Structure 1
Amino acid sequence: MFVGLDLGTSGLKAVLIDADQRLLAEATAPLTVQRPHSGWSEQRPADWLTATQDAMTALAAQHPLDGVRGIGLSGQMHGATLLDAAGDVLRPCMLWNDTRSHTEAAHLDADPQWRDITGNIVFPGFTAPKVAWVRVHEPDVWAKTAKVLLPKDYLRLWLTGDAVSEMSDAAGTSWLDTGARDWSDALLQVSGLTRDHMPRLVEGSAASGQLRDTLATRWGLPKGVIVAGGAGDNAASAVGMGVVKPGQAFISLGTSGVLFAASAAYQPDAPTAVHTFCHALPDTWHQMGVILACTDALNWYAGLVGSDAGRLTADLGALQAPSEALFLPYLGGERTPHNDAAARGALLGLGHGVDQTAGTRAVIEGISFAFRDNYDALRSTGTQITSLVAVGGGSKSDYWLRALATLLDLPIDVPQAGDFGGAFGAARLGLMAATGAGADIATPPATARTLDPDPNLTSAFMDKHAQYRAAYAALKEAL
Structure 2
Amino acid sequence: MFLGIDLGTSGVKAVLVDADQKVVAQAVAPLTVSRPHPLWSEQDPESWWRATNSVATELRRSHPAEMAQVSGIGLSGQMHGATLLDGRDRVLRPAILWNDGRSGAECVELTRRMPSLPEIAGNLAMPGFTAPKLLWVARHEPEIFRDVAKVLLPKDYVRLRMTGRYASDMSDAAGTLWLDVAGRRWSPELLAATDLDEGEMPELFEGSEPTGLLLPEVAAGWGMGASVEVAGGGGDNAAGAAGVGVLKPGSAFLSLGTSGVLFVANDGFAPNPARGVHAFCHCFPGLWHQMSVILSAASCLTWVTRLTGASSEAALLAEVEAADRDTGSLLFLPYLSGERTPHNDPDAKGVFFGLTHDHDRVDLARAVLEGVAFAFADGQAVLAESGTEIGAISVIGGGARSRLWGRILADVLGRPLTYHKGGEVGPAFGAARLGRLAVTGEDMNEVCLAPPTDFVIEPDGAATERHASKLALYREVYQGLSGLFRTRVAS
Summarize the alignment of residues 125-274 of structure 1 with structure 2, pairs less than 5 Å apart: 125-274=128-277
SS in 2 for 1:12: strand
Q: CA deviation at 1:252?
A: 2.2
1:200 is displaced (CA, Å) by 1.0
Q: Secondary structure at the match of 2:296?
A: coil
Q: CA, structure 1 residues 460+95, in 2 after alignment: closer, same or farther (shift >3 Å)? A: closer
Residue equivalent to 1:85:
87
Closer, same or farther in 2 for the Cα pair 1:91/1:382, shift >3 Å? Answer: same
1:25 aligned residue: 25
* Inter-partner Cα distance in structure 2 for 1:297 and 1:217: 40
> Is this contact kept in 1: 2:329–2:470, CA < 8 A?
no
Q: What stretches of structure 1 of length at least 5 have no aligned partner?
A: none
Matched residue of 2:102: which SS? coil
Aligned mates of 1:328, 1:244 — CA distance in 2: 32
Contact 2:13 2:28 in 1 (8 A): yes
Q: Which residue of 2 aligns with 1:290?
A: 293
Maintained 8 Å contact 2:122/2:279 = yes
Where has structure 1 moved over 6 Å in runs of 4 or more? 317-322, 351-356
TM-score normalised to structure 1 length: 0.90
Secondary structure at the counterpart of residue 383 of structure 1: coil
In 1, distance between residues paired with 2:451 and 2:6?
19
- Give the conservation status (yes or no) of the 8 Å contact 2:64–2:223: no
Decide whether the 8 Å contact of 1:324 with 1:354 is kept in 2.
no
CA distance in 1, matches of 2:34, 2:336: 22
In 2, Cα distance between equivalents of 1:279 and 1:379: 20
Shift of 1:267: 0.8
**How far apart, in 2, do the equivalents of 1:45 and 1:304 lie?**
29
Is the Cα–Cα contact under 8 Å of residues 94 and 130 in structure 1 kept in the other structure?
A: yes
Give yes or no for the alignment of 1:14 onto 2:20.
Answer: no
**Counterpart code for 2:412:** L
8 A Cα contact 1:39 1:98, kept in partner = yes
| Structure 2 contact 296–335 (Cα < 8 Å) conserved | yes
Name structure 2 gaps, 5 residues minimum: 486-491
Give matches, 1:433-448, under 5 Å. Answer: 433-437=438-442, 438-448=444-454
TM-score when normalising by structure 2: 0.88
Report how far residue 473 of structure 1 moved.
2.2
The answer to whether the 8 A contact 1:386-1:410 is kept is no
Hey, what's the Cα distance between the residues in 2 that align with 1:82 and 1:304?
Answer: 35
Q: Could you tell me how far apart the structure 2 residues matched to 1:235 and 1:433 are?
A: 16
Q: Does 1:123 align with 2:123?
A: no
Cα distance, 1:402 vs structure 2: 2.4
Q: Distance in 2 between matches of 1:88 and 1:297?
A: 34
1:414 maps to which of 419, 428, 432: 419
Q: Is the 8 A contact 1:323 1:358 kept in 2?
A: no
**1:426 — aligned with what?**
431
The more displaced of 149-158 and 298-307 is 298-307
5 Å-filtered alignment, 1:367-382, equals: 367-382=372-387
Q: Is the 8 A contact 1:323 1:361 kept in 2?
A: no
Q: Distance in 2 between matches of 1:299 and 1:48?
A: 21
Q: Is residue 2:64 matched to residue 1:63? A: yes
Q: Residues 285 and 324 of structure 1: is their aligned pair in 2 closer, same or farther, counting only changes over 3 Å?
A: same
RMSD across aligned C-alpha pairs, in angstroms?
Answer: 2.7
The aligned amino acid for 1:42 is: E
Taking a change above 3 Å as real, the CA distance of residues 351 and 431 of structure 1, as seen in their structure-2 partners, is same
- Identify the match of residue 458 of structure 2 among 446, 452, 456: 452
2:391 equivalent in structure 1: 386
Matched residue, 1:470: 476
Percent identical: 50
Confirm or deny: 8 A CA contact 2:400 2:423 kept in the other structure: no
Question: What is the rounded CA distance, in whole Å, between the counterparts of 2:266 and 2:174 in structure 1?
Answer: 15
Q: Which amino acid aligns with 1:267?
A: A
Q: Residues 291-306 of structure 1 correspond to what in structure 2 (within 5 A)?
A: 291-301=294-304
1:344-367: CA deviations, max 9, x gaps?
A: 344445678867656554443332
CA distance in 2, matches of 1:146, 1:210: 23
Q: Once the 2 structures are TM-superposed, how far is the Cα of residue 313 of structure 1 from its aligned partner?
A: 3.9
User: Quick one: which of 75, 78, 81 aligns to 2:77?
Assistant: 75
What's the CA shift for 1:3?
Answer: 1.4
Q: Which moved more, 1:144-153 or 1:48-57?
A: 48-57
Any residues of structure 2 matched to 1:22-61 within 5 Å, and which? 22-61=22-61
